[in-house]
Amino acid sequence: MYDNGVGVLSQYGLTARTTCRGRGAMLCETETGWKSIQEFGGARNKLELQWQLQEQIIRSGAVQTDCPLRNEAGELVSQGEDGQLYVVREWYPGKECDTRSIPEIRRAASAMARLHKAARLPLRKEYEKESLISECTRHNAEIRKIRRYLSGKQKKNPFEKLLLDSADEFLEQGEAAVEELKDSGYERLREEARQKGCICHGEFNQHNILFCGGGQDTVIHFDKWSFDLQTADLYQFMRKILEKHNWDLQTGAEILSAYEKEQPLQKTELQNLRIRLSYPWKYWKLANHYYGGKKTWMSQKNIEKLEQIKSQKKNWLNFINNMDF
């Protein structure tokens, strides 16, 4: 890709003056500023909607985005000489959010809220995210299946012993989250989001927010966008940050304060956020990765990840039970 992808710039009337590698893309300085070139393997219809979404966000003035560009033929996808398909996007050099810096975390949360206010399109059901109740119920069933498998295995390695020993407590937490979701106003919130055409970025984390010159904020990598409750983005960002801050209550309060300064949340939305944070996503992800793999060997890194999940459980539950910001 990195040798041949640059050639597609000619289809945009551009040439590369300098190039460097970015995250999964080639970054090129051209006559009209920096662009990124990335291999494309998705659905063109969804990319067209993504273009509409990102154009709308830019026009709103909420944040800058790495919007896909149309080539001279008016297409968003270009074929290189190597036969590979590429997408060329606007690019804005900047620095990623430093997860150790509360001011930068607040700035990222504020940018997310502004993005959310502008991220609206008429609902397209084929791009609607799965119901959270359905998703969590399915994950609970997967944890039970993995627990049965491990219980019946005679010889267990250290990772498997640790995974089995902690299965009951995390499954209990997952089942409690599903029951709370059913009793909450989730379905009403979901219907409200449908009516408004609310869209989630899908991967809003410290790597996908860039702080650029002139105080500009740029949100990148929209490929996982979907129609959903926007608390899904807020949950994902908060979990990533809070895991690095050992579920510190003050850090959580700072994130919510910065977000709500731009976009206040209803009580039911705050409840939905708390329920999302209470689900044992990281345990499920690690267990599912094990079960979907060879089930014979897990790296020391994965053992350390599981140990970290267990060691943070007390602070995690304390955070969930004291979310009263």
CA neighbor of 39 nearest in space, from 110, 93, 98, 89: 89
Same structural domain, 47 and 180 = no
* CATH number, domain containing residue 146: 3.90.1200.10
pLDDT at site 24: 86
Q: What is the mean pLDDT of residues 54-81?
A: 97
Over residues 156-162, the mean pLDDT reads 91
Indicate if 249 and 280 belong to the same structural domain. yes
44 and 167 belong to one structural domain: no
Domain count, the chain: 2
Asked if residue 97 is part of any domain, the answer here is no
Number of Cβ atoms within 10 Å of the Cβ of 171: 21
One domain, residues 133 and 161: yes
58, 91, 124: which is the final residue of a domain?
A: 91
Q: Are residues 63 and 183 in the same domain?
A: no
The reply to whether 85 and 113 lie within a common domain is no
Do residue 82 and residue 127 come from a single domain? no
In a domain, 212, yes or no: yes
What confidence score (pLDDT) does residue 4 get?
55
Asked if residue 244 and residue 276 are part of one domain, the reply reads yes
SS (H, E, C) the chain: CCCCHHHHHHHHCCCCCEEEECCCCEEEEECCEEEEEEECCCCHHHHHHHHHHHHHHHHHCCCEECCECCCCCCCCCEECCCCCEEEEEECCCEEECCCCCHHHHHHHHHHHHHHHHHCECCCCHHHECCCHHHHHHHHHHHHHHHHHHHHCCCCCCHHHHHHHHCHHHHHHHHHHHHHHHHHCCHHHHHHHHHHHCEEECCCCCCCCEEEEHHHCEEECCCCCCEECCCHHHHHHHHHHHHHHCCCCHHHHHHHHHHHHHHCCCCHHHHHHHHHHHHCCHHHHHHHHHHHHCCCCCCCHHHHHHHHHHHHCHHHHHHHHHCCCC
pLDDT(295) > 70: no
Residue 96 lies in a domain: no
- The type of residue at 284 is W
* Boundary of a domain, candidates 60, 91, 122: 91
Give domain status of residue 29, yes or no.
yes
Are residues 128 and 247 both part of a single domain? yes
Give the tens place of pLDDT for each residue, 131-148: 999 999 999 999 999 999
Share of the chain above pLDDT 70, in %: 97
The confidence score (pLDDT) of residue 167 equals 97
Do 169 and 26 lie in one domain? The reply is no
Tens-digit pLDDT profile for residues 25-49: 999 999 999 999 999 999 999 999 9
Are 86 and 108 found together in one domain?
no
Residue numbers of the domain that contains 178: 102-321
User: What rounded mean pLDDT belongs to the chain?
Assistant: 95
CATH number, domain containing residue 27: 3.30.200.20
Is 76 part of a structural domain of the chain? yes
Q: For residue range 260-294, what is the model confidence (pLDDT) as tens digits?
A: 999 999 999 999 999 999 999 999 999 999 998 86
Q: Of 91, 118, 150, which one is at a domain's C-terminal end? A: 91
159 and 284 part of one domain:
yes
